[in-house]
């Protein structure tokens, strides 16, 4: 268990088959959030937790926001190393 970031540091990476499985789980979780109009805004390896079976869980929704259709976000938040270019440049950005 623990953070995906710590796992990567400890093991020097993640095997290709595990990466594909984890990526599918993360994308599925993000899709679920977006279908419910929630944007995380700080998705990074430190905010992906692994359980004892190496299943990914998205954590830390402290910077998340609810979206409405046609609405733009303005707040520059999250971790700059993982932020989208439009967030870094200070432009308005759309959610899901």
Note the pLDDT of residue 88.
74
pLDDT tens track for 2-47: 999 999 999 999 999 999 999 999 999 999 999 999 999 899 999 9
Distance of CA 8 to the CA centre of its chain: 16
Exposure pattern of 18-27 as b/e (b: 16+ CB <10 Å)? eeeebeebbe
Residues annotated catalytic, as ranges: 42
How distant, in Å, are the alpha carbons of 7, 53, 71 from that of 37?
A: 30, 29, 11
Give the pLDDT band of residue 96 (cuts 50, 70, 90): low
The correct answer on CATH 3.40.50.2300 for the domain covering 2-94 is no
Domain boundaries, the chain: 2-94
What's the CA gap between 59 and 62, in Å, rounded?
A: 9
The answer to whether the CB of 73 falls within 8 A of the CB of 93 is yes
pLDDT tens track for 62-71: 988 888 777 7
């Amino acid at each position: 268990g623990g953070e995906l970031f710590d796992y990567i540091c400890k093991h020097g990476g993640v095997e290709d088959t595990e990466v594909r499985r984890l990526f599918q789980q993360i994308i599925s979780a993000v899709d679920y959030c977006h279908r419910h109009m929630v944007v995380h805004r700080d998705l990074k390896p430190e905010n992906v937790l692994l359980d004892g079976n190496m299943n990914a869980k998205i954590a830390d929704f402290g910077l998340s926001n609810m979206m409405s259709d046609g609405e733009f976000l303005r707040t520059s938040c999250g971790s700059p190393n993982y932020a989208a270019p439009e967030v870094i440049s200070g432009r308005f950005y759309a959610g899901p």
